[in-house]
């Protein structure tokens, strides 16, 4: 197949989240399976084209992410007239391929549900009023306000764009269920295909049988990742298991409703046990295997996350993983068969799960072994590649049977 991958996020300039990580993996996977691939991505330093191996990458600058679709369309149109792409894949986030969808009505488009911009805002709004008002102050809000756009314009654009995709791919069952209900998507067009994950030898070589009494959290210290609830769980654990050590890896963030940061709040709640908590701040990705080798248990109590790679890294390392039931970790941990799943926003159950694994090292090691095997069997490029090809083919067949699109999606 001749496949166009369209995404504002792409390393190194616009590697703003998990989409960029996914893009690198999927390009390599598709090319290794004999497909012709071109990438159309965002830039912050100016327009330029480059060759990565045999993959052509076209980068175009835009004032902000919302302007990317219009910025990338001219070069895509030019390349499509030359190549004749069979299918386009793009994320739902901020409608990266809206202009392609509107102006080339006969091209099949696969929409990948990573996590929409509007849903992130919704989660942040529920988690902290502070986050919402901080967003309202940024330039996108003022731009929309000047145009007297409705408050839900972000969601309206992303919803219409996704509804008009020929195939909708959820990277976790949770996100598929959420958007089917929230956006009234056609269930017959939705399938679940997890992202590819290829663990490093460093992670796979970490011994399963460790004994450090260390519990590690990796991620920004912010509400959406469950750090507020972990802050309440830590004192419970340290009171009952004073030999335990916590290591929190990630950039500290302000709490918003007070002058404290999360680090300060956690230290205050821990009281005399504060010395049992280590804060590393943001670390280089290359150090993650070493940090995982020095821990027994990893805990990720997120309020909601679609596809956190850090969970797969901990699984590949053979750690005892405790993950939130809300989002993609429930899939990753096989609903508790390869780790412990906990309800979000529940410090008591988070603490109980940590204590249980501290008290049962054999159970922890067994779960770590199952987790490592699950990563290797379920997220490998061979399995995911076959699923991608079937998905692309469904999109192509649907577009053929439906004919050119007649409905144009709203734009910003």
Tell me which CATH homologous superfamily contains domain 2-196+381-402. Answer: Glycogen Phosphorylase B; (3.40.50.2000)
Each residue of 328-372: pLDDT tens digit? 999 999 999 999 999 999 999 999 999 999 999 999 999 999 999
pLDDT of residue 139: 37
What pLDDT, on the 0 to 100 scale, is given for residue 339? 98
Long-range Cβ contacts of 51-58 (<8 Å, 24+ apart): 52/27, 55/27, 55/31, 57/10
pLDDT at 242 over 90: yes
Most confident of 138-142, 214-218, 223-227: 214-218
CATH 3.40.50.2000 fits 201-378, yes or no: yes
Q: Average pLDDT over the chain, rounded to whole?
A: 91
Cα dihedral value 15, 17, 19, 20, nearest 10: 20
Average pLDDT over residues 369-393: 97
Give the model confidence (pLDDT) of 112-145 as tens digits.
999 877 777 666 655 544 443 443 444 344 344 3
For the segment 270-289, the average pLDDT, to the nearest whole number, is 95
The predicted structure's pLDDT at residue 119: 76
Model pLDDT, residue 252: 95
Same fold, 2-196+381-402 and 201-378: yes
The residue extents of the domains of the chain are 2-196+381-402, 201-378
Q: Which residues have C-beta within 8 Å of that of residue 284, sequence separation ≥ 6? A: none
pLDDT value of position 212? 97
Terminal C-alpha separation, the chain: 32
Each residue's pLDDT tens digit, 148-202: 344 467 788 899 999 999 999 999 999 999 999 999 999 999 999 999 999 999 9
What are the pLDDT digits (tens) for 5-14? Answer: 999 999 999 9
pLDDT bucket at 23, cuts 50 / 70 / 90: very high
Between CA 406 and CA 232 the distance in angstroms is 53
Chain segment 40-77, per-residue pLDDT in tens: 999 999 999 999 889 999 999 998 888 999 999 999 99
Mean pLDDT for the stretch of residues 204-213 = 97
Q: What is the pLDDT, as a whole number, of residue 120?
A: 74
Average pLDDT of the residues in 21-35: 94
């Amino acid at each position: 197949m001749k496949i166009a991958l369209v995404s504002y996020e792409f390393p190194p300039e616009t590697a703003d989240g998990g989409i960029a990580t996914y893009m690198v993996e999927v390009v390599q996977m598709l090319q290794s399976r004999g497909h012709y691939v071109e990438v159309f991505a965002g830039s912050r330093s100016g327009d330029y084209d480059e060759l990565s191996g045999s993959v052509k990458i076209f980068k175009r600058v835009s004032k902000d992410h919302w302007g990317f679709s219009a910025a990338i369309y001219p070069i895509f149109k030019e390349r499509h007239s030359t190549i004749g792409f069979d299918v386009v894949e793009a994320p739902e986030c901020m409608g990266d391929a809206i202009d392609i969808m509107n102006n080339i009505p006969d091209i099949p488009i696969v929409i990948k549900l990573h996590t929409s911009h509007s849903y992130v805002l919704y989660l942040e709004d529920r988690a902290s009023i502070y986050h919402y008002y901080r967003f309202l102050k940024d330039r996108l809000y003022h731009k929309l306000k000047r145009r007297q756009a409705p408050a839900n314009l972000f969601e309206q654009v992303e919803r219409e764009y996704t509804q008009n995709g020929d195939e909708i791919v959820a990277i976790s069952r949770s996100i598929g269920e959420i958007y089917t209900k929230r956006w009234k998507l056609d269930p017959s067009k939705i399938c679940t295909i997890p992202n590819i994950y290829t663990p490093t030898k460093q992670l796979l070589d970490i011994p399963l049988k460790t004994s450090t009494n260390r519990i590690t959290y990796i991620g920004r210290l912010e509400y959406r990742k469950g750090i507020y609830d972990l802050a309440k769980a830590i004192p419970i654990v340290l009171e009952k298991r004073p030999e335990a050590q916590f290591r929190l890896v990630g950039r500290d963030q302000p709490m918003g409703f007070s002058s404290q940061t999360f680090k300060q709040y956690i230290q205050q709640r821990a009281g005399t046990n504060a010395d049992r908590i280590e804060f590393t701040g943001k670390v280089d990705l290359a150090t993650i295997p070493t940090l995982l080798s020095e821990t027994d248990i990893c805990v990720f109590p997120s309020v909601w996350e679609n596809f956190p790679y850090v969970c797969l890294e901990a699984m590949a390392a053979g750690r005892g993983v405790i993950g939130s039931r809300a989002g993609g970790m429930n899939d990753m941990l096989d609903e508790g068969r390869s780790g412990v799943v906990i309800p979000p926003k529940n410090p008591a159950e988070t603490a109980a799960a940590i204590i249980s694994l501290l008290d049962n090292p054999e159970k922890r090691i067994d779960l770590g072994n199952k987790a490592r095997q699950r990563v290797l069997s379920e997220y490998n490029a061979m399995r995911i590649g076959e699923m991608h090809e079937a998905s692309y083919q469904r999109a192509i067949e649907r577009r053929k049977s439906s004919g050119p699109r007649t409905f144009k999606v709203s734009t910003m």
